[in-house]
Structure 1
Amino acid sequence: MTTAMITHSDCLSHVTPTGHPEQVARLERVLAALQGRALEQVEAPLGRIEDLRLCHPQAHIDHIRAAEPDEGTVQIDPDTWMSPGSVDAALRGVGGALAAVDMVLAGKAANAFVATRPPGHHAETEKTMGFCLFGTVAIAARHAMERHGLSRVAVVDFDVHHGNGTQDLLWSEARSLFISSHQYPLWPGTGPVSDTGAHGNVINLPLDPGTNGEAFRAAYEETVFPALDAFAPELLLISAGFDAHHDDPLAGLRLTEDDFAWVTGRLCDLADTHCSGRVVSCLEGGYDLDALASSAAAHVDVLIARGA
C-alpha cells in the first residue's frame, strides 16, 4: 500500500498579518519539500457541521463562522486571526483528517499525512486558541470511535506546545489515550503531569527548556511507548508539530530532523504491533520555515518507508 498525503489549496487562503508565525508560507514550504515523493495525493474534502459537532457545540461553530471577515484580517483572540477563507481552510483540515482515517481503516492507504493549516490542537470545546479554530485531531479520534466503532484510539502530540485543546476535547473520553510531550513551562501554561483525564486517559510529559534529542528519546522510551503498548490502540493519530526543533523561534527545545524521524519510526513500530500499522498524522506547529520543511519531510519519509 501507499502513504496518502491529504491537502487542499483552500488552506493557502487562510491569511494572517505580515510577521505572524502561522503564515501561508508554512504550508507552501511543507508541500514543496514533499514534491516528488511516493505519495498518493488526495484532495481534502470540507468537514461538515455534523463532523465539528463530534467535539464542539453549535454555538462555537456559529461563533467561528460569524467571525470570518468579508475582507482583510480580524483578530479573534490574542494569537488567532481570520481572513476570508479561514473557515474553509479549517474545514479542509477537519475533512482531510476524517478522510485519512477512513482511508487507513478501509485499507486504502497504509498510513496518511494531513498537510493542512490552520493547526487544531489548541482549540478547546468552546474556545479558539493558539492559531487554532477547531480540534482537528480530537474530531478525527471521535470519528473513528463513533462512526467506525473503534474502542481504543491513541493520540500522540509531540508539538513543543501542550495540546491543551485535544486534552480538553478528549478529557472524558474513556476510549481514547492522549499523550502530549511539550516544553514546560511554556505557553499555554498547561500540561502538568498531574493532569490525567477523567479515566486516567491523559498522559502529559513536560520537558525542560533546552531538552535535547537524547533526553527526548529517553523520556519517550520510559513513558510514552510503554503506555501505548499497554493501551494497544486500534488506530494511532499523531499531532505532528515540528516546533521542538532547535531552530524554532517560539520555543527552546533542541530536537533535530533525526529526532523527528526516530520518534515517527518508533510510533510506527507500536502501530505495527497493535493496529496493522494504521497511523494518521496531522500537521500542527513549526515556525522556522527551513526547519519545518526538513522536519516534515523526515517525518513523512518514515511513513512512506513503513507503508511500502
Structure 2
Amino acid sequence: MTTALLTHADCLNHVTPDGHPERVARLEHLLHALEPLNLKRVTAPMAAEDDILRIHPESYLRDLRDTVPVSGFAQIDGDTFLSPGSLDAAFRGAGAVVRAVDLVLGGEVGNAFCATRPPGHHAEESTAMGFCLFGNAALGAKHALDHHGLSRVAVVDFDVHHGNGTQDLLWDERRALFISSHQMPLWPGSGRADETGAHDNVLNMPLAPMTGGSEMSAAWEGQAMPRLRAFKPELIIISAGFDAHLDDPLANLEWLEEDFAWLTAQLCAVAAEVCDGRIVSTLEGGYDLNALAASGKAHVEELMKAAQ
C-alpha cells in the first residue's frame, strides 16, 4: 500500500492581501518539500455541492458565492478574505478530503494527505472565519459516515488553534469523536476541557503557552490515545496544523519537527490497531514557511512508513 497526496493548482489561486499569514507561499513551500517523496499523486476534484451541504446550509454557500469579488478582495471578517479564485480553491480542498476518504476506504491506498488551502477547521456551520471557508475535516467524517456507512469516525486536531468549526459541526454527531490539543489562551478562545459535546464525543486538551513536546506527548498518551482506542473508530481524520512549531509567528507553543513526527507515528499505531491503518490527513495551519515545510514533510514521511 502507498500514501496518496491530493492537491490542485487551484489552491494556489486563493490569494490574500500582502502580509497575510495564510498566503500562497505556504502551499508552494510544502509541495516543494514533498516533491522528492514517492507518493501516489492524485488531482483533487471539486467537491459536489451536495458534499458541502452535508455540513453547511444552502444559504451559507449562496452567501459565499455572492461575496466572491470579480477582482481584488472581499473581507469576511478581521482576517478572512476572498479573492476571485478563493471559492474554487475551497471546493478543491473539500473535494480532496472526500476523494481521500474514498481512496482509503476503498483500499486503493493505505492513507492520504490533502495538501490544500484555504484551511478548514475554523469554519462553523454558517460562519466563515479564521482563514477558513468549508469544514473539510468534518465533511470527511460526515462523508465516511453517511456515504460509506461507517459507524464511528474520529477527527483529531493538533493545530495550535482550537478547531472550533469542527467542534461546532460535530457537536451533535454521536458517531464522531473529536479530539483537539491546542494552546490556551489563544484565539478563537474555545476548546476548554469542559466542552465535551452533546454525547461526550469531544475531548479538548488545552496546552499552556511556552510548552513543548513533553507536555504534548503527556496529553496525547494520557488522554487522547486511550479515548481513541476505546472509541474504536473505523477511520481517523487528522486536522494537521503545524503552527504549534517553535518558530511559528502566530502562537507560543514550542514543538519541533520531531514532535509532529512522533505524534503522527502514535496516531498511525492506534489506527493500525483499530481501523487497519486508515487515516486521512488534511492541512490546516502553519505560518513559518520553513517550519511548515519541514514539519509537514515529517508528518507525511510517518504516514508513508505506516502505509508500507
Matched, 1:162 2:162: yes
1:91-130 paired onto structure 2 within 5 Å = 91-130=91-130
* Count of residues paired in the alignment: 308
1:53 deviates by: 0.7
Give the 3-state SS of the residue equivalent to 1:148 in structure 2. Answer: coil
Report Cα offsets for 1:256-275 as digits up to 9, x if no partner.
00000000000000000010
Q: How does 1:291-302 map to 2 (within 5 A)?
A: 291-302=291-302
Cα distance in 2, alignment partners of residues 191 and 277 from structure 1: 28
User: 2: CA distance between counterparts of 1:94 and 1:237?
Assistant: 13
Identity %: 60
User: Which residue pairs with 1:199 in the alignment?
Assistant: 199
The answer to whether the aligner puts 1:136 opposite 2:139 as a matched pair is no
Q: Tell me the SS of whatever aligns to 2:147.
A: helix
In 2, Cα distance between the equivalents of 1:163 and 1:179?
Answer: 9
User: Structure 1 residue 228: deviation in Å?
Assistant: 0.3
SS in structure 2 at match of 1:177: strand
Q: Quote the offset at 1:215 in angstroms.
A: 1.1
Alignment-derived partner of residue 17 in structure 1: 17
Give the corresponding residue for 2:43.
43
Q: Which residue of structure 2 aligns with residue 171 of structure 1? A: 171
Note the alpha carbon deviations across 1:198-231, whole angstroms, 9 max, x for none. 0000010000001111111011111110000100
TM-score (ref. length: structure 2)? 0.99
The CA RMSD over aligned residues, in Å, is 0.5
Answering whether residue 190 of structure 2 is matched by residue 217 of structure 1, we say no
Q: Which residue number corresponds to residue 304 of structure 2?
A: 304
After superposition, residues 29-108 of structure 1 pair within 5 angstroms as 29-108=29-108
The one-letter code sitting in structure 1 at the alignment partner of 2:33 is A
The amino acid that maps onto 2:68 is: E
Q: How far did 1:278 drift?
A: 0.2
Give the 4+ runs in structure 1 shifted more than 2 A.
none
Distance in 1 between residues matched to 2:67 and 2:296, nearest whole Å: 31
**CA offset at residue 73 of structure 1?**
1.3
Alpha-carbon distance in structure 1 between the residues aligned to 2:218 and 2:134: 32
Amino acid at match of 2:189: G
What SS does the aligned partner of 2:198 have?
coil
Q: Give the distance between the partners of 2:199 and 2:305, measured in 1 at CA.
A: 35
- Partner Cα separation in structure 2 for residue 306 and residue 142 of structure 1: 25
Where does residue 189 of structure 2 map in the other structure?
189
Alpha-carbon displacement from aligned partner over 1:262-291 (angstroms, at most 9, x marks no partner) = 000000000000100000000000000000
Partner of 2:6: 6
Specify the code of the residue in structure 2 equivalent to 1:186.
L
How far apart in 1 are the matches of 2:175 and 2:104? 19
